Amino acid sequence: MGFDVNGACEARLSAYVEELAEVMEHAARKKPLRDYCTGLMMGDGRKSVEPIAALTAPERTAAQHQSLLHFIGNGAWSDDDVLAKVRALVLPALERHGGIEAWIIDDTGFPKQGRHSVGVARQYCGQLGKQDNCQVAVSLSLANHHASLPVAYRLYLPKDWAADDARRRKAGVPEDIVFKTKPQIALEQIRSAHKAGLLRGVGVFDAGYGHDAKLRSAVTALGLTYVAGIQSTTLVWTPGAAPARVAKRGRRGEPRLVSAKQLAGDLPKHAWRTITWREGSNTKLSSRFARVRVRPGQRNAGTADRPEEWLLIEWPEGETAPTKYWLSTLPETISFRALVDYAKLRWRIERDYQDLKQEVGLGHFEGRGWRGFHHHATLCIAAYGFLISERERIPPSGLPRSGRIAQPAVSQNYRPRGAAAAHPAPRPELDRHHATAPDRSSRQDPSALPLLRNDAIQASAA
């Protein structure tokens, strides 16, 4: 008996949207929810409201545009409730490829002109690799080597925005949103996930978060382990340092407080090992590492009550100095390769953020308001979650284009009047505190397939 690929895929999408609609409170939101999610998964052009309206209702675009604009910009539905439903529907698909391995904290930037779009300021933008006008959002993703799924997502509101009542009112920033640093936002997300009882993973942070000792301590207090990128200037007590209430520098025989960089330079040659952590797309990924037990410290403070942690250092062949450093509370018995593998698991969020931006238009929101910014991101995550669920149905050889969901005829270069041109493909943001090129390869399994734009919502015959 034949298998209707289009019908089966659309049926699964309909069932998925039905489940999401349960938390929307009003039945009238079901159609714009389905249209918006479908629009995010169709076409190669921009995924803002007007192009989605043209794709999903080409004969009544103006009315559809107004409906979707209200749904995204003003709809009083809960982002938290929708994200909770997405993770309930999608995490089982991730777990079929292995347990949750990591809780990855990340932030991602969206270039933006002007000063009235909520949260826009001159700050570091990973997509551009420099300081520029942009918005930045902080997220927590649950991940294994197959995929990652954002389970929390919040716009970072710079100090000048948080203190500007006029701009806050115009952009609809809730009164309870006050200035918080990115690590503080990340910690809120981690605590919320912990309280919700989500499957635990190792906290994985880059140096933008790992340098924050308060964040590391708070994660430990929750009973979670971490692998946290740190800066080369981070101070540690030398290996084997005995606890002491006061460090009196300069006395012979006392433990030394040194930077991670200095400690790396003092290590003997035999401390360094070449470790291969996984298969890349063309070759095995390996580099030279050393690890040593240390106690994180600071000047004028002792080591009392500070348990030892791993200091992991990467020094690739041919480099004049180490390029990356991590502190980790993973067990002392963990293998060298497993420790490196956890540190390098941030490649997963790197790849999946590229998919979120390039395939479902995470950065294409053109409104200025707080609610619209988060509603758009929530539905991008929802659409991406559906695509994760469909990945396991995609055979390694890819899919015939005939299997995609039917879409109205519209130019792939369609752009609403006045809309800015699409930004260039986002450049990798992983390990943005280091000058070395990030790891962008992935395993040779179905998760290595791109989301394939239109083809991503295909399904193969059973």
Q: Which DSSP string do the residues of 288-313 spell out, in sequence order?
A: EEEEEEEEE--TT---TT---EEEEE
3 state DSSP class of 186: helix
Neighbour count for residue 129 (Cβ, 10 Å): 14
Whole-number Å distance between alpha carbons of 8 and 20:
19
Letter for the amino acid at 296? P
Comparison of pLDDT for 413 and 115, the residue scoring more: 115
Q: Tell whether the model's pLDDT for residue 99 goes beyond 80.
A: yes
Find the mean pLDDT for residues 104-113. 93
Q: Tell whether the model's pLDDT for residue 245 goes beyond 50.
A: no
The tally of CA atoms less than 13 A away on the side-chain side of residue 56 is 25
Whole-number Å distance between alpha carbons of 412 and 151:
31
Letter for the amino acid at 256? R
Find the mean pLDDT for residues 329-351. 94
- Could you tell me which of 85, 56, 6, 28 has the C-alpha nearest to residue 379? 85
Cβ atoms of 375 and 167 within 8 Å: the answer is: no
Would you give the end-to-end CA distance of the chain in angstroms? 11
Q: Return the pLDDT at 455.
A: 41
Q: Return the pLDDT at 43.
A: 65
Burial 34-62 (b: 16+ CB within 10 A, else e): bbbbbbbbbbebbbbbbbbbbbbbeeebe
* Contacts for 155 with CB less than 8 Å, ≥ 6 apart: 118, 119, 135, 136, 137, 370, 373, 374
- Could you tell me which of 373, 328, 354 has the C-alpha nearest to residue 453? 354
Confidence of residue 299 (pLDDT cuts 50, 70, 90): low
pTM: 0.82
300: region left, alpha or beta (phi > 0 left; psi from -120 to 50 alpha): left
Whole-number Å distance between alpha carbons of 188 and 205:
15
Contacts 24+ apart (CB under 8 A), 273-278: 273/336, 275/336, 275/337, 275/340, 276/337, 277/337, 277/340, 277/341, 277/344, 278/145, 278/341, 278/344, 278/443
Q: Is residue 455 packed enough to be buried (19+ CB in 10 Å), middle (13-18) or exposed (0-12)? A: middle
Q: Tell whether the model's pLDDT for residue 418 goes beyond 80.
A: no
Letter for the amino acid at 378? T
Which helix (H) or strand (E) covers residue 159, if one does? helix 159-162
Model confidence pLDDT, tens digit, residues 140-185:
999 999 899 999 999 999 999 999 999 999 999 999 999 999 999 9
Model confidence pLDDT, tens digit, residues 354-403:
899 988 999 999 999 999 999 999 999 999 999 998 877 754 444 333 33
Whole-number Å distance between alpha carbons of 347 and 141:
12
Whole-number Å distance between alpha carbons of 155 and 324:
28
Neighbour count for residue 138 (Cβ, 10 Å): 23
Give just the sign of the alpha carbon dihedral 269, 341, 330, 192: positive
Cβ atoms of 68 and 31 within 8 Å: the answer is: no
Model confidence pLDDT, tens digit, residues 331-341:
999 999 999 99
Tokens, residue 264? 């790396």
Confidence of residue 406 (pLDDT cuts 50, 70, 90): very low
